């Protein structure tokens, strides 16, 4: 039987360790799942043998790592560590090998190397998997795929799965884009829009039921988070969740600009501002910027720009392209913008742009064919209106926050 429980212990039971009372003039403060669990003495993990799935973003409000906190907890036994793409420290942009953790002496099993699912050998001695990684709210960001795959492993081995919830940094209200027409296991793990507007805990609840995973799932809720909050409104510290995700602005742009990342276009990896620029040696920057600005897309402008990446795609080559200026993040429509960029690159530069690779991350062939056949500016949002109605009805069941 599926057991889905949301674990929120009352602060009144733990007066000495209670969170500070909010003053009338105090900025809104959000406490992540790890803060709530640590305050409450790690009770959901009492007596458990834990495998921790985490990286450098698994921190409490004071910057102390979840790994360190669990290792020091007197009633918790940490027996294994697992890292996602980019490794435990979040600095690698390649396949990641197993390593060891100097604090605990434990082996760190990579879930972005030889395997993406914990094996029986890796899970030996583990009765509880704990997931604490910061997501950024886009379907093709791989951490939520790692979570789903690990939930499958937990179900297969009769292991409890605990999610320490964290905010969606680009708010929990921005939901947009088509549903994927097939599952990509890792960059399209479940049938959701490109922007899902959910937290990792809410996604875990959806995965568990809709994919019939049926693991023993527990979500440690946040306190103080509201759906409309952007990350800076939470008073939480920004930590780069991956090497090329370096600001909230880049996270805001990513669901749109990331759509062209699989193509023969640099999205700024190897520069100081990834996802705030894009270009290629075959792009004429003034022609592209003029065309994109002429579309009058809301909340965004484009500046002709030339850059030379020092790593990744087109390393050492001069690229023409644009610098993206975000003028109104609330008005900005990432998916509409990303598809408009795809259309203009194809119409301006023809076969120089390998447009079909857009579907490596879009995962919706019918929509891509519509974009490819568009010769004039048009809105694509009506094309996923029915998808949105379907998804919003499904999504409502799993939302934990107002």
- The strand order across the sheet containing 216-220 reads 3-7, 216-220, 160-164, 128-132, 49-54, 77-83, 107-110, 99-100
**Domain assignment of residue 375, yes or no:** no
Q: Is residue 112 part of a domain?
A: yes
Instruction: State whether 196 and 302 are in the same domain.
Output: no
Q: How far is it, in rounded angstroms, from Cα 268 to Cα 60?
A: 31
Indicate whether 120 and 183 sit together in one domain. Answer: yes
Predicted pLDDT at 246: 98
Residues 279 and 226 in one domain: no
Task: Provide the number of structural domains found in the chain.
Answer: 2
Say whether both 82 and 213 belong to one domain. Answer: yes
- Indicate whether 125 and 77 sit together in one domain: yes
First to last CA, the chain: 28
Alpha carbon distance 354, 255 (integer Å): 19
Identify whether 255 is part of a domain.
yes
Does a structural domain hold residue 108? yes
**Cα 150 from Cα 213, distance rounded (Å):** 10
Q: Are residues 94 and 211 in the same domain?
A: yes
In this structure, are 99 and 157 located in the same domain? yes
Q: The tokens of 121 are what?
A: 């050998």
CATH number at residue 105: 3.40.50.12170
What is the dihedral angle through the alpha carbons of 326, 329, 332, 334, rounded to the nearest 10 degrees?
A: 90
**Tokens in use for 96?**
């990641």
Verify that 358 and 291 share a domain, yes or no: yes
Whether residues 70 and 208 share a domain: the answer is yes
Q: Are residues 53 and 181 in the same domain?
A: yes
Pair 85, 242: CB distance under 8 Å: yes
Q: Which two tokens stand for residue 370?
A: 């519509």
- Four-residue CA torsion sign, 60, 64, 66, 69: negative
Using CA atoms, how far apart are residues 199 and 401, in angstroms rounded to an integer?
9
Strands 107-110 and 128-132: unpaired
Confidence at residue 170, expressed as pLDDT on a 0 to 100 scale:
98
| Per-position DSSP letters for 5-48, written without gaps between them | EEE---GGGGGGGPPPPPPTTPPP--B-HHHHHHHTTTGGGTT-
- Considering the domain boundaries, does residue 283 fall inside one? yes
The pTM (predicted TM-score) of the whole model is 0.92
Contact 53, 133 (CB under 8 A): yes
Other Cβ atoms within 10 Å of 383 Cβ, number: 16
CATH number of the domain enclosing 313: 3.90.1150.140
CA dihedral 226, 231, 237, 242 (to 10 degrees): 120
Cα–Cα distance measured from residue 87 to residue 250, given in angstroms and rounded to the nearest whole number: 21
- Where in the sequence is the domain holding 331, given as residue range(s)? 248-363
* 8 A C-beta contact, residue 193 and residue 387: yes
Q: What is the pLDDT along the chain (402 residues), one digit of tens a residue?
A: 444 443 333 333 322 333 444 444 456 789 999 999 999 999 999 999 999 999 999 999 999 999 999 999 999 999 999 999 999 999 999 999 999 999 999 999 999 999 999 999 999 999 999 999 999 999 999 999 999 999 999 999 999 999 999 999 999 999 999 999 999 889 999 999 999 999 999 999 999 999 999 999 999 999 999 999 999 999 999 999 999 999 999 999 999 999 999 999 999 999 999 999 999 999 999 999 999 999 999 999 999 999 999 999 999 999 999 999 999 999 999 999 999 999 999 999 999 999 999 999 999 999 999 999 999 999 999 999 999 999 999 999 999 999
> Do 148 and 256 share a structural domain?
no
Please indicate, yes or no, if residue 259 is contained in any of the structural domains: yes
| Residue 186 counted as domain residue | yes
Whether residue 228 is found in the same domain as residue 355: no
Helix (H, G, I), strand (E, B) or coil at 54: strand
């Amino acid at each position: 039987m599926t057991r889905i429980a949301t674990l929120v212990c009352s602060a009144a039971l733990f007066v000495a360790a209670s969170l500070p009372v909010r003053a009338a003039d105090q900025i809104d403060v959000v406490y992540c799942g790890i803060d709530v669990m640590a305050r409450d003495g790690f009770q959901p993990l009492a007596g458990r043998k834990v495998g921790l799935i985490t990286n450098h973003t698994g921190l409490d409000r004071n910057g102390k790592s979840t790994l360190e906190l669990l290792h020091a907890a007197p009633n918790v036994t940490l027996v294994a560590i697992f890292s996602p793409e980019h490794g435990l420290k979040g600095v690698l942009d390649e396949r990641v090998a197993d390593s060891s953790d100097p604090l605990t002496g434990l082996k760190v099993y990579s879930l972005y190397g030889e395997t993406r699912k914990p094996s029986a050998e890796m899970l030996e001695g583990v009765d509880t998997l704990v997931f604490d990684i910061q997501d950024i709210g886009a379907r093709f960001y791989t951490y939520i795929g790692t979570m789903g795959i690990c939930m499958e492993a937990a179900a297969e081995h009769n292991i409890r799965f605990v999610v320490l919830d964290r905010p969606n940094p680009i708010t929990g209200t921005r939901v947009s884009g088509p549903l994927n027409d097939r599952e990509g296991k890792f960059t399209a793990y479940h049938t959701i829009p490109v922007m899902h507007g959910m937290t990792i805990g809410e996604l875990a609840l959806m995965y568990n039921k809709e994919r019939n995973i049926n693991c023993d799932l527990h979500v440690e809720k946040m306190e103080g988070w509201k759906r409309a909050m952007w990350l800076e409104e939470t008073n939480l510290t920004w930590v780069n969740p991956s090497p090329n995700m370096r600001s909230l602005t880049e996270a805001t742009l990513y669901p749109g600009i990331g759509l062209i990342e699989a193509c023969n276009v640099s999205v700024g990896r190897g520069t100081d501002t990834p996802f705030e620029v894009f270009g290629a040696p075959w792009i004429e920057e003034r022609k592209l910027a003029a065309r994109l600005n002429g579309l009058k897309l809301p909340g965004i402008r484009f500046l002709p720009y030339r850059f030379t990446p020092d790593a990744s795609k087109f390393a050492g080559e001069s690229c023409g392209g644009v610098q993206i200026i975000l003028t109104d993040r609330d008005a900005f429509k990432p998916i509409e913008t990303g598809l408009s960029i795809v259309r203009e690159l194809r119409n301006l530069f023809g076969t120089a742009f390998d447009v079909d690779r857009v579907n490596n991350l879009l995962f919706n062939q019918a929509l891509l064919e519509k974009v490819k056949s568009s010769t004039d500016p048009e809105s694509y949002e009506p094309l996923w209106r029915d998808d949105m109605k379907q998804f919003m009805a499904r999504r409502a069941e799993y939302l934990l926050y107002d």
